[in-house]
């Protein structure tokens, strides 16, 4: 009888999958041992002992180990499934993999801490079932990775495991496999009707955790550093997908540094109003726009890099205020790398009363037809009035003729506005800020060495 008991225990430990309070009564808990020596299938039953811990690491060769860190031990790897609104402060640790099942929300008053090197995988799903991590207004995320131990958000299809920085089965062409990360705050934004708060795209109107906006420009949503977000952008409605990182009215008390977004089906990083400053952003192979600004974003994005993939649209898409509140962005030291195979593949599109400044820009690798567009008369008027300003743009292979003004058109491709009010004057003026350079001889753009830690660097994207 004792031999049978030991055999059952040995088999269960050698093939364990850890579970949590969020994962009761599922087939992944079959390795639990019930009191009385029988193998259980119910994680929540009163006769179940806890799931195996990292003290029960499995040695190579099939022997049961007690030292998870020894040279003959395979990594300890618990699978913890999370879903719904958190009810307590939580700390997610690097010895586990966390699976996002549907939406996981950090509500007001609570903090989610994530250890360096932790891997979070989003489950598949579209519409209301799309997986995402949402930090609601008043909630905090303390995700402080390091250059050698970044925090990684990816898909459950990714075969990356604990202790690794990349899997082997997905590439920059694999997107839309889960949702993304949304951080929402109480800073100001410019919204239609001059309301002070609105619902973030992708969250049903009745869910108050999706609201963003307010009057606290110093609002603090936590820290988000050395984080890689991969393979997201799940469809949530017709023509509506989740961005890799969405920042809704996030205040300047929040720290956003060293964030990479790879292979997101929609935009890479999108700012909806807010005042948060962001530095060392990298977006590679997004499906739509890499860096997107809306609703009077009033922060600075600095030392950041865009690398277009074969299906990418714009490197930058810049929109202005939607209400009477006005504010200006600053883009400083941005590198844009084009892709000649990209059907869209434009440098930038300035739209709907865009206002702010770009300076120390560097662009290379774009096809000859790519351009920087002023997309309507409202943008042109802001340019004439000094609300939209261009500092130095260093461009490989092309000159100021890439800067063009276009008349807005309706759904039938008919002009909405009667005339172009700048061209050819706009192109002529662009000669004062565009400089033709050879690749590698630029003075502006991002310091690429800041991205040596990224998945994009490891895969030779730049």
Over residues 437-444, the mean pLDDT reads 96
Whole-number percent of the chain with pLDDT over 90: 71
- Please compute, for residue 389, the number of CA atoms within 13 A of its CA located in the half-sphere on the CB side: 13
Relative to beta strand 151-155, strand 211-212 is unpaired
Cβ 245 vs Cβ 229: under 8 Å: yes
Could you report the per-residue pLDDT of 111-128, keeping only the tens digit for each?
999 999 999 999 998 777
Over residues 336-347, the mean pLDDT reads 89
d(CA 337, CA 363): 6
Taking alpha carbons only, the member of 314, 176, 322 closest to residue 249 is 322
According to the model, what pLDDT value does residue 343 have?
81
d(CA 248, CA 208): 14
CA dihedral sign of residues 206, 212, 216, 218: positive
The rounded mean pLDDT for the chain is 85
According to the model, what pLDDT value does residue 419 have?
81
pLDDT exceeds 60 at position 270: yes
At 211 the three-state DSSP class reads strand
d(CA 271, CA 243): 10
Over residues 149-173, the mean pLDDT reads 96
Q: Which residues, including other chains, have CB under 8 Å from residue 203's CB and lie 6 or more apart?
A: 103, 134, 182, 209, 210
Count of CB atoms within 10 A of residue 228's CB?
24
Over residues 373-388, the mean pLDDT reads 94
- Which has the higher per-residue pLDDT, 182 or 14? 182
Instruction: Categorize the per-residue pLDDT at 2 as very low, low, confident or very high, splitting at 50, 70 and 90.
Output: very low
Could you report the per-residue pLDDT of 398-429, keeping only the tens digit for each?
888 899 998 877 778 787 777 889 978 899 99
At 4 the three-state DSSP class reads helix
Whole-number percent of the chain with pLDDT over 70: 82
pLDDT exceeds 70 at position 47: no
Count of CB atoms within 10 A of residue 189's CB?
30
According to the model, what pLDDT value does residue 77 have?
58
Exposed / middle / buried, residue 427 (Cβ in 10 Å: 0-12, 13-18, 19+):
middle
Over residues 57-85, the mean pLDDT reads 54
According to the model, what pLDDT value does residue 58 have?
33
- Which has the higher per-residue pLDDT, 218 or 343? 218
């Amino acid at each position: 009888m004792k031999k049978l008991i030991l055999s059952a225990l040995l088999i269960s430990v050698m093939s364990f999958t850890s579970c949590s309070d969020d994962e009761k009564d599922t087939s992944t808990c079959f390795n639990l041992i019930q009191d009385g020596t029988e193998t259980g299938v119910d994680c929540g039953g009163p006769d179940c002992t806890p799931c195996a811990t990292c003290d029960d690491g499995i040695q190579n060769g099939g022997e049961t180990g007690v030292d998870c860190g020894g040279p003959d031990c395979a990594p300890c790897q618990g699978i913890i499934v999370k879903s719904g609104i958190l009810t307590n402060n939580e700390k997610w640790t690097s010895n586990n993999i966390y699976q996002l099942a549907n939406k996981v929300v950090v509500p007001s008053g609570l903090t989610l801490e994530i250890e360096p090197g932790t891997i979070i995988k989003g489950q598949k799903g579209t519409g209301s079932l799309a997986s995402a991590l949402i930090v609601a207004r008043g909630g905090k995320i303390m995700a402080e990775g390091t250059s050698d131990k970044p925090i990684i958000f990816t898909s459950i299809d990714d075969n990356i495991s604990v202790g690794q920085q990349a899997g082997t089965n997905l590439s920059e062409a694999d997107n839309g496999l889960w949702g993304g990360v949304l951080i929402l705050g109480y800073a100001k934004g410019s919204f239609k009707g001059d309301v002070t708060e609105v619902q973030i795209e992708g969250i049903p109107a009745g869910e108050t955790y999706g609201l963003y906006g307010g009057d606290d420009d110093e609002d603090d949503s936590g820290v988000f550093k050395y984080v890689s977000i991969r393979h997201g952008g799940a469809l949530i409605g017709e023509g509506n997908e989740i961005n890799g990182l969405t920042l809704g009215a996030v205040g300047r008390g929040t720290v956003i540094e060293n964030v990479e977004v790879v292979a997101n089906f929609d935009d890479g990083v999108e700012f909806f109003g807010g005042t948060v400053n962001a530095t060392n952003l990298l977006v590679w192979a997004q499906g739509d726009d890499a860096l997107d600004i809306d609703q009077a974003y009033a922060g600075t994005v600095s030392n950041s890099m865009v690398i277009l993939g074969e299906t990418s649209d714009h490197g930058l898409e810049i929109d202005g205020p939607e209400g009477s509140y006005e504010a200006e962005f600053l883009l400083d030291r941005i590198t844009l790398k084009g892709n000649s195979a990209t059907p869209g593949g434009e440098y930038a599109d300035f739209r709907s009363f865009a206002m702010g400044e770009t300076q120390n820009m560097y662009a290379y690798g774009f096809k000859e037809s790519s351009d920087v567009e002023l997309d309507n008369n409202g943008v042109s008027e802001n340019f004439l009035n000094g609300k939209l300003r261009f500092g130095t743009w260093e461009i490989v292979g092309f000159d100021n003729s890439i800067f063009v003004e276009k008349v807005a058109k309706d759904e039938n491709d008919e002009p909405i506005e009667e005339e172009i009010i700048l061209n050819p004057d706009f192109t002529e003026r662009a000669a004062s800020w565009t400089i033709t350079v050879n690749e590698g001889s630029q003075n502006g753009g991002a310091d690429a060495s800041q991205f040596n830690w990224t998945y994009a660097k490891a895969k030779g994207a730049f």
